Amino acid sequence: MMPRLKMKLFAGLAALSLTLAAFSAGAEAATHALDLSGTEMSAQESLQTALILAEPGDTLLLPEGTFALTDGLSLDIDNVTLKGAGPEKTILSFKNQEAGSEGLMVTSSGVTLEDFAIEDAKGDAIKVMGADGITMRRLRTEWTDGPKETNGAYGLYPVSSKNVLIDNCTAIGASDAGIYVGQSQHIIVKNSRAAFNVAGIEIENSYYADVFGNTAEHNTGGILIFDLPGLPQQGGHSIRVFDNRVVNNDTGNFAPEGNIVGEVPTGTGIMVMANRNVEVFGNEIADNGTTNVLIVAYPNDYEDENYFPFPQGIHVHGNRIGEGGTTPDNEIGELIAQITGTPIPDIIWDGRMPWGDYFFGPEAGNGIYIGENTATDEGGQVDFANVDATMWYAANWFHSTKRELPDHAGGPATLTPVTLAPVTQPQETQ
């Protein structure tokens, strides 16, 4: 072995020994300031080693700086905090990532991620799978070359999880959704910004979610509440979307072919598809070129016998709605414009329901309920259209666009604020 190679190997082993010693000094929860300078171990080795050796209750402190990583990171220890110096100060760059499907994969519970950025991940930036308790606070995920089909699909991506908190985060450039929570329950997404993604914020096949205080701008679609067939958890319900700013969603759809969000028209503000008991209120919604609010059934064929494709119990009220609908996009936008003319009305419902509901009306609480909303453009008014897509396709000679608000029986469900269960902290070693 060459002398220089020997020295390098011994230096790496010595650095690893020091890291092991630091983490094994005691089993009690501790705070570890990580050295990612690359002096003795690469930033990749130092950080992944720390994630492997962490004990429940540990806090790992990331230093200020930009650190180039070539492989995905993973964490599977419960109750660990990974904290940087701030999303503009601690940057984990995956620009030259060679392996791994994510920037960071978390498969443990009670984890807190805060105050750092992940840039240019090969796949998803931060994926969390099967967690009970995950906090993402003051994070930034970004693909720095702008919107491209080859960007990773998701920025912040908790899936199949419970007690999810996303707070004061930023997500930019995802080719599917900047902030996505799927097949999860008890979710809060607040005070965050999503821009230049296909979907800014998406809640999919999930139960009990509050989405508030966020800004969704310059995406293809601002905030999407979807339920899809063929997934282990479906029947999304009990979701409140309120006090958000959903404006200027004008980025062309750059999702890879075959992706469901690839069907979202550019210029969609808030879109609700096939969910039950969704309340949209107190939002500022404006300057979305296809329409400001879109309520639809699932539009494609499916084979899942358990899937229910229609929206029910949707309540839209108390929003401040500005101009929109002047530049309808793709087949969906163009069809709506063909039926309603342009500008497309502020609130669009496709009118699709089960046949019994179509002819006899939905059961109490299962209708579409449009309350009072306020126009913010001078001299404007908030208008609505039921485009009656059912008859447009089934029997066009019976088709009739309805401009009056639906008068469905009963009223929407009263949704209560989402609460998250506290994380159980590990017991200190006696």
Q: What is the mean pLDDT of each run of 10 residues along the chain (430 residues)?
A: 33 40 59 90 95 97 97 98 98 94 97 98 98 98 97 98 98 98 98 98 98 98 98 97 98 95 97 98 98 97 95 98 96 95 97 94 96 91 95 86 93 96 59
Let me know how long the chain is: 430
Residue 20: what pLDDT? 44
pLDDT, residue 27, reads 53
Phi then psi dihedrals of residue 302, to 5 deg: -155, 160
Which pLDDT belongs to residue 379? 78
- φ, ψ of residue 262 to 5 degrees: the values are -65, -15
Rounded distance, CA 152 to CA 160, Å?
19
Angle between helices 3-24 and 43-53 (to 10 degrees): 30
CA–CA gap between residue 124 and residue 136 (Å, rounded): 15
User: Which phi and psi (to 5°) does residue 367 adopt?
Assistant: -90, -170
Report the chain's C-alpha Rg in angstroms: 24
Residue 278's Cβ-side half-sphere holds a number of Cα atoms within 13 Å equal to 33
Q: Tell me, what's the pLDDT at 425? A: 56
Domain ranges of the chain: 143-398
Full-model pTM:
0.92
Residues 255/219, Cβ–Cβ less than 8 Å: no
- Which residues are registered as beta bridge partners of 43? none
